[in-house]
């Protein structure tokens, strides 16, 4: 596997950083991509991954990422993980700026990276027989919920983009895998959503039995991309057992109904 090179976006924390660690653990060459160089440098020192500092909402940065990859060994797999949410306000009262930010990073950023790297992925597929694209979306892109607003809209769009991409690439040896996580307790996702309010962030996960970890999702991504090349897991929905839907979350211990202690 050391001959395969994977690019992981949104790699400075959470699912992205865990995915870098997981692929390195499997012997892959990994290029970690994010805006925060200090985080990337620490991750590279820890894992031996390469890194590229890039803001995926800026075309010049994405073009620079493409040029670096082309000059240093190409790419055989892409994990498009960068994304995020702002706010839980209603459609009526939510900030247009928040919606624009969510659309830029979740949808347009994904499109920029795919357009830039697909030629390199095709070259990688010609070298090794196949290439892989994994897009990390969310169950928010499959099911609407009160307070979802702009995040639902952005993730539904990213889900649609991924499905169209799979249709467009039909006939080529390139897998397109969508991973749609439910509740994942990472250090930053909800903190960013609530504008840095730590108390609101902590309340999301309070008394929830075993929400997913970033490592759980990373393991799912690596599993999907290390299956035999003819096996394509089109859509993987991964949630904690306590979460039946975005709007139905059990709090407190899980227990068998009617069981007697």
Residue 142 and residue 247 in contact, taking contact as beta carbons nearer than 8 Å? no
Tell me what pLDDT residue 220 has: 98
Lowest-pLDDT choice from 62-76, 117-131, 181-195: 181-195
Residue 33 and residue 52 in contact, taking contact as beta carbons nearer than 8 Å? yes
Residue 247 among the catalytic residues: no
Residue 68 and residue 42 in contact, taking contact as beta carbons nearer than 8 Å? no
Alpha-carbon separation of residue 173 from 28, 49, 208, 225, 238 (angstroms): 20, 26, 41, 13, 25
Q: Quickly state the pLDDT bin for 206 (edges 50, 70, 90).
A: confident
Active-site annotation holder among 51, 103, 145, 151: 151
pLDDT tens per residue across span 140-155: 999 999 999 999 999 9
Tell me what pLDDT residue 3 has: 72
CA distance 220 to 202: 25
Enumerate the β-bridge partners of residue 78: 7, 133
Q: What does the block give as tokens for 89?
A: 């306000």
């Amino acid at each position: 596997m050391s001959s395969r090179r994977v690019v992981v976006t949104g790699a400075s924390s959470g699912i992205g950083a865990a995915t870098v660690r997981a692929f390195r653990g499997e012997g892959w060459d990994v290029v970690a991509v994010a805006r925060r160089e200090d985080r990337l440098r620490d991750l590279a020192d820890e894992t031996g991954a390469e890194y590229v500092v890039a803001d995926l909402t800026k075309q010049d940065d994405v073009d620079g990422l493409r040029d670096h990859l082309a000059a240093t060994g190409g790419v055989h797999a892409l994990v498009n993980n960068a994304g995020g949410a702002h706010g839980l306000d209603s459609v009526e009262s939510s900030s247009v700026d928040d919606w624009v930010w969510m659309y830029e990073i979740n949808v347009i950023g994904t499109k920029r990276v795919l357009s830039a790297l697909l030629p390199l992925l095709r070259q990688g597929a010609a070298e090794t027989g196949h290439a892989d694209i994994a897009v990390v979306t969310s169950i928010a892109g499959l099911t609407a919920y009160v307070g979802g607003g702009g995040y639902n809209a952005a993730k539904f769009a990213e889900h649609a983009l991924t499905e169209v991409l799979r249709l467009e690439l039909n006939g080529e040896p390139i897998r397109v895998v969508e991973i749609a996580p439910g509740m994942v307790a990472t250090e930053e996702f909800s903190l960013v959503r609530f504008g840095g309010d730590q108390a609101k962030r902590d309340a999301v996960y309070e008394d929830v039995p075993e929400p997913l970890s970033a490592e759980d999702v990373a393991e799912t991504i690596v599993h999907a991309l290390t299956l035999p090349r003819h096996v394509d897991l089109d859509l993987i929905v991964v949630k904690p057992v306590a979460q039946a839907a975005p709007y139905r979350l059990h709090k407190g211990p899980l227990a068998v109904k009617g069981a007697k202690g």
